[in-house]
Amino acid sequence: MLANTGPPKAAEPPIFVVGVTGHRDIFEDEKDVLRECLRKNLSLIKGYFDHASVQLVCGMAEGADTLAAEVALDMGIGVVAVLPMPQKLYEADFDSAAANHLRELLAHPEISVLEMPLPAGREESDLEDQDARDDQYKLLADYIVRRSNVLVAIWDGVAAAMPGGTSDVAFRYLSDSSDHTPNFIKQDGGEAEDCGNLLFWLPARRQSAPDRELPQGDLCLISNANYDYYWQQNKIPEQFVIRWKGFDAYAADWKSDLGADLAAYGLAQGGIDALTFDLKWIEQEFIRADQMARAYQGRSDKMFALFGLLAGAMGLAFLVYAKLLAVNVFLYAYIALFVVGFIGFRYSARRHLHSGHLAYRTLAETFRVQFFLILSGAGESYSLKRILGLTSVNRFARFEWLQEGVRCAEPLVYFGHYAKGDALQLVRDHWIADQAAYFGKKLHSLHAQHYRLEVIKTALLTGSVIGALSLIFFKKTLLHLDMMGYDGKAWLVFFMGLLPLWVAVWELYQGKMATRELLWQYSNQRRFFRSAEREIAQVADLRDAKKIIRDLADKALIEIYLWSVHRYHREHEPPAAG
């Protein structure tokens, strides 16, 4: 079981992580130049964030890691030292002077220390074997690749065959943890259609090869969205700037009081004891994203309801003018209501109330899925960014930062979060069965609401038909009726105009709320979770159960992402568009 304490602490705002990999044996004469390059790049990155915390994460190995940590501390940037094994064992890889320097650095108040846990069945004494030590270094490399929003590589550019080494980390980052090495291509001007990961390459010679020819200055290596090739350029692509600004806006909302007064519903629901700090972190991120999504949803729903009321009031004003009282005050009211509606529409679009709701709901549900993937032990081979890419939801404006936000859910390691025998039952109870019941209840509620509305709509349409028949067969009788200075025909025509108006306004509101899409989503989600509940109750092998959980994660995430895609354009349609 992983320890329950350790940085980063829960309830901290989103952290933008700058990972570091590099050689231990940097050529001594180049260290001052590298310090300046590091300072320049860290300052550049930090300058994009007013609200998000920026942290440097490294393994604190001698050479590049400690050099980067010293520069970051000097700049006031916090450092997370992720040691590949317990410190007393890690120090065996340092000479006495370097080990003393490591201890001094780790004692710095702005450095948080994490130690990679040992896999089940492995003891500290086993780390006397080099293969076991190499496995721990691979775990460290894996975490840096997964968690880094940006990777800085202090590297000679040579592709070495050492697992967990600098080139291995660099290429795995560019390929987003896949097994293949991405191909290098030359860009013929302009940027790629979509970008994956960004690596700052600081060329550095090694003491073992001081005469190697290297490029001058620092460079950017960028992978494409499929992570199968990368290219080199001298500046940060605009796509990353947009992502980072979106992530900073997310941090600003996180730190604000937006939705803070709303009830918080955790993923563990109080029924899972002794959560690891990774799971506590994800639960806290879920709660905050859920609160912000609900806050934006409340505001967005009010705006859509206002648009419906304004549309109805405009129609009423025009009907009164056309059918009962042709005085200019009703035209003035019509124009005034139109102006109010237009201002409300522009306000809603400018504040991104609807897209804010969708983006935070997307993030919250992603955190939910990742929480239970980790708890079940099924998350190691799962890629959240793969699903984002498949649905292209992260290509919408103000959704780009999700690619950075989901990294906040990356655990230190994927094992040890709960005992295997208990994990599956916890996932069944707190996710699969819970969500199946939730979607079943919501679907029942929506169906009942839909039935009532269909009855009302049918009554309105029936009234329109009755009114038309009355005009045909009782026209003379209606003409002789006097009501407040108007004959019965005028009143009947007026109310007949109101009936389709009410239907149209309601259809407009339902279109804005995407009720049909929501009904479809709830139906699909209930089916997915019920099916998984039946399947997982009948499997005995943990590997089969993990496959069911991963398949369910795919379906649940794709459904919520596609729902966001379908609803996204509602914000950008004017109030009169149905």
Closest to 268 measured CA to CA, from 257, 253, 282, 258: 282
- Is 121 a member of any domain? yes
**Rounded distance between C-alpha atoms, residue 339 and residue 332, angstroms:** 11
* CATH number for position 204: 3.40.50.450
Peptide bond before residue 8 is cis, with ω within 30 degrees of 0: yes
| The two three-digit tokens of residue 484, written as one number | 């407040």
Kindly tell me if the per-residue pLDDT of 58 is higher than 50: yes
Same-domain check for residues 170 and 311: no
265 domain residue, yes or no: no
- Mean pLDDT score, 185-191: 71
- Burial category of 177 from C-beta neighbours within 10 Å (exposed 0-12, middle 13-18, buried 19 and up): middle
* Whether residues 176 and 212 fall in one domain: yes
For residue 525, the number of C-alpha atoms closer than 13 Å in the C-beta half-sphere is: 29
**Over the stretch 127-181, which tens digit does the pLDDT of each residue have?**
999 999 999 999 999 999 999 999 999 999 988 878 788 999 999 999 998 878 8
**Most confident stretch, 185-199, 306-320, 396-410:** 396-410
Closest Cα to residue 406, out of 568, 250, 238, 242?
A: 250
Boundaries of domain holding 203: 15-254
Average pLDDT over residues 302-317: 76
Q: Which helix (H) or strand (E) holds 58?
A: strand 53-58
Pairing of strands 195-203, 219-224: antiparallel
Average pLDDT, the chain: 85
Question: Cα–chain-centroid distance for residue 545?
Answer: 26
pLDDT in tens, 428-448: 999 999 999 999 998 888 777
Whether residue 112 is found in the same domain as residue 74: yes
Mean pLDDT for 495-502 is: 63
pLDDT at 532 over 70: yes
> What is the DSSP-derived secondary structure letter of residue 432?
I
Do 281 and 192 lie in one domain? The reply is no
Within this chain, do residues 315 and 239 fall inside the same structural domain, yes or no? no
CA–CA separation, 357 and 290 (whole Å):
9
Q: How many CA atoms lie within 13 A of 513 on its CB side?
A: 20
Predicted confidence at residue 21, as pLDDT, reads 97
Alpha-helical regions (H) of 7-95? 31-46, 64-74, 87-90
Domain contains 1:
no
Instruction: Quote the longest CA-to-CA distance of the chain.
Output: 110
Domain end point (choices 254, 289, 311)? 254
Domain final residue pick, 187, 221, 254? 254
- Do 434 and 562 sit in the same domain of this protein? yes
Q: Which tops the pLDDT comparison, 354 or 253? A: 253
Local structure of 233: helix, strand or coil: strand
Shared-domain flag, residues 287 and 174: no
Three-state SS across 311-342?
A: HHHHHHHHHHHHHHCCCHHHHHHHHHHHHHHH
CA separation for the pair 151, 158 (Å, rounded): 17
pLDDT at 210 over 70: yes
Establish if 235 belongs to a structural domain.
yes
Same domain, 463 and 546: yes
Measure the CA–CA gap between 272 and 430, rounded to whole angstroms.
9
Residue 200 has pLDDT above 50, yes or no: yes
* C-alpha of 376 from chain center: 21
Does 286 have pLDDT greater than 90?
yes
Q: Residue 217 — pLDDT band, cuts 50, 70, 90?
A: confident
User: Do 399 and 544 belong to one domain?
Assistant: yes
For residues 26-47, give the mean pLDDT.
94
Is 81 within a domain? yes
Tokens of 383: 């890629």
CA distance 347 to 571: 11
Q: How confident is the model at residue 422 (pLDDT cuts 50, 70, 90)?
A: confident
Structure tokens at 505: 């306004």
- Would 152 be classed as within a structural domain? yes
Residues 289 and 236 in one domain: no
520 and 434 fall within a common domain: yes
Whether 525 maps to a domain, the answer reads: yes
Per-residue confidence (pLDDT) for residue 507, from 0 to 100: 56
* Structural domain includes residue 578: no
| Number of structural domains in the chain | 2
- Residues 161 and 196 reside in one and the same domain: yes
- For 506, residues 6+ apart whose C-beta sits below 8 A from its C-beta are 308, 453, 457
Which token pair is 149? Answer: 């929003």
> Nearest-5° angle of CA 35, CA 37, CA 41?
120
Task: Tell me which of 224-233, 370-379, 429-438, 534-543 is least confident.
Answer: 534-543
